[in-house]
Amino acid sequence: MTTHVIVLPGGGYHRHAPHEGEPVAAWLRTLGVEASVYEYPVLTRHPAVVDAVAAEVQRVRTQGATKVGLLGFSAGGHAAGHTALTVDGVNFAILGYPVVSMLLETHAGSRENLIGLDASPELRAATSLERLVTASSPPFFVWHTADDAAVPVEHAYLLGKALAAKGVKHALHVFQHGRHGLGLAEGTGAEAWTALCALWLNELS
């Protein structure tokens, strides 16, 4: 069985952070997992991002992958989670300090670039991951830091609560300290996320 993980870097839906791309894919390959980086569309409105990531998932499947996972950070975590929750063909999702809810007043940059600050309550709800979880959602691994000033840890808690309520397999790890945008988090207390994630991936197989 071939597992392929598509890495979606963060960047507030206006750029792609390099340290959240190829270095992360390289780490995944050390685990014996195929991995690639996908630079999804930015500065474009919903649903362009989900449509593009869904197409990339299908492309990877046509190349022989039997299991496809999405790994995203921050806004890339939102894109990964949104696709995993609404598109068939995603077997699992790994989210680092993700933007989860468009209903919160936090992280206005991602919301502005994806749906606009004047988006209707209905559109904000439709793009909030905690509102999209169902009993058939794929497994999730989520990590965050408690003192993230850019995307508050409340986002991760909201998603964890929704996953638990629907009985979806998941792991949620919150580390005490760490700025937003850590990526692999090398040299910080949060770098343990990679070892925890490797164990989680092994349990899935």
CA distance 66 to 95: 21
CATH 3.40.50.1820 assigned to 3-204: yes
Question: Do residues 132 and 164 lie in contact, with contact meaning Cβ atoms separated by under 8 Å?
Answer: no
Residue 76's contacts (CB-CB under 8 Å, 6 or more residues apart) are 7, 8, 9, 10, 11, 16, 20, 40
The per-residue pLDDT for 134 is 98
Exposure pattern of 80-112 as b/e (b: 16+ CB <10 Å)?
A: bbbbbbbbeebbbbbbbbbbbbbebebbebbbe
pLDDT band at 108 (very low <50, low <70, confident <90, very high): confident
Neighbours of 51 (CB within 10 A): 14
Q: Which residue has the tokens 């709800």?
A: 125
pLDDT band at 7 (very low <50, low <70, confident <90, very high): very high
pLDDT band at 77 (very low <50, low <70, confident <90, very high): very high
What is the rounded end-to-end Cα distance, in angstroms, of the chain?
9
Q: Give me the amino acid identity at 132.
A: L
The per-residue pLDDT for 205 is 73
The per-residue pLDDT for 23 is 98
pLDDT digits (tens, 9 = 90+) for 120-171: 999 999 999 999 999 999 999 999 999 999 999 999 999 999 999 999 999 9
pLDDT digits (tens, 9 = 90+) for 20-69: 999 999 999 999 999 999 999 999 999 999 999 999 999 999 999 999 99
CA distance 152 to 98: 9
The per-residue pLDDT for 107 is 79
pLDDT > 80? residue 177 = yes
pLDDT band at 103 (very low <50, low <70, confident <90, very high): very high
- List the chain domain ranges: 3-204
The per-residue pLDDT for 6 is 99
Question: Do residues 11 and 42 lie in contact, with contact meaning Cβ atoms separated by under 8 Å?
Answer: yes
What pTM, to 2 d.p., does this model score?
A: 0.98
The per-residue pLDDT for 1 is 77
**79/107: higher pLDDT:** 79
